[in-house]
Structure 1
Amino acid sequence: MARRDYEDDPSAPAANSLVPAASAVVVGEDGRVLLQRRTDNGMWALPGGRMELGESLADCAIRETYEETGIVVEVTGIVGTYTNPGHVFAYDDGEVSQEFSICLLARPTGGSLRTSDESFEVRWFAPQETDGLAMVPSIRKRLDDWRAGHGPAIR
């Protein structure tokens, strides 16, 4: 399903849903971070997605990371909360969801890199290598917050 991100854009459609979601900054022992290149917008992103009924937020991040990248993770902390009402995701089925995402910190415990129907490239990057990557502003904020290391961000 195609998705378009709008952040603080006056031409954005009005939200008609609020969906809890989790993303993960997965950091390997060597300090590199795991990113995927999304099939829906071609941008680099953290693994993550919608929380399902019956799962915890940590379980959501673990499941989404495995589904999208093939890497099994353990959640170790929180990067921040991201709930900007001016950030919406418009889907081709007419849903427009307001951002409600918690970004967690995780470490890999197994698995191997692979793509999925949501990702056409998955790679590990040194933090400074992420600077020039094409990504939506909300993902850039999460990476910047993690790199700044000032504790959980509330946005």
Structure 2
Amino acid sequence: MARIDHFNNPNAPKPNSIVVAVTVFVQDDQGRVLLIQRTDNGLWALPGGAQDFGEYIADTAVRETREETGVEVEVTGVVGIYTNPNHVVEYSDGEVRQQFSICFRARFVNGEPTTSDESSAVRWVLCDALDHVAIHPSMRLRIDHGLEQRENPYIG
């Protein structure tokens, strides 16, 4: 299913759903950030996805990271909560989702980067290389907040 992110676009379609979702900010022992190249839009992003029924939200973060990257993580905190009503995601099936995403901080446990149906590439990316990777501005905000090591989570 194709995906278009509308960010501060006055011509964006009106949302028709809100789904609880997560992203996961994790660095390896060299300080590199784990990123996937999404199959639905080709952009690089933190791993993540929607919460399933019967699942604790931190377990969603662990599961989504494992499914999309092959990497096992342990949640250690919250980077931020992202609810910008001017960020909507339009899917080819007609769903237009208003953003609601909790970005978790996690610790690398083990595993090797492996692609999935949702990730055409998985890499540990050096912080200096982030400016040379195609990342949506809303995702880059999460990454920057994760790198800042904020004392309190971002709420916005």
TM-score, structure 1 normalization:
0.97
CA drift of 1:154 comes to 1.1
Instruction: After the TM superposition, list the runs of 4 or more consecutive aligned residues in structure 1 that deviate by more than 3 angstroms.
Output: none
Superposition map of 1:1-80 within 5 A: 1-80=1-80
CA drift of 1:53 comes to 0.8
1:119 maps to which residue?
119
SS of aligned partner of 1:122 = strand
The amino acid that maps onto 1:61 is A
Unaligned runs of 5+ in 1: none
SS of aligned partner of 2:61 = helix
SS of aligned partner of 1:120 = strand
Unaligned runs of 5+ in 2: none
- For 1:130 and 1:75, the matched residues in 2 are separated by 23
CA drift of 1:150 comes to 2.3
Q: Is the 8 A contact 2:79 2:150 kept in 1?
A: no
- For 2:19 and 2:2, the matched residues in 1 are separated by 17
The amino acid that maps onto 2:145 is D
1:135 maps to which residue?
135
* Count of aligned residue pairs for this structure pair: 155
Q: Is the 8 A contact 2:36 2:122 kept in 1?
A: yes
Q: Which string of whole-angstrom CA distances, capped at 9 and with x for unpartnered residues, describes residues 21-50 of structure 1?
A: 010001112211100111111111000011
2:155 maps to which residue?
154
Q: Percent identity?
A: 54
- For 2:107 and 2:70, the matched residues in 1 are separated by 13
- For 2:117 and 2:76, the matched residues in 1 are separated by 27
TM-score, structure 2 normalization:
0.96
CA drift of 1:149 comes to 2.1
Q: Is the 8 A contact 2:76 2:104 kept in 1?
A: yes
- For 1:82 and 1:132, the matched residues in 2 are separated by 24
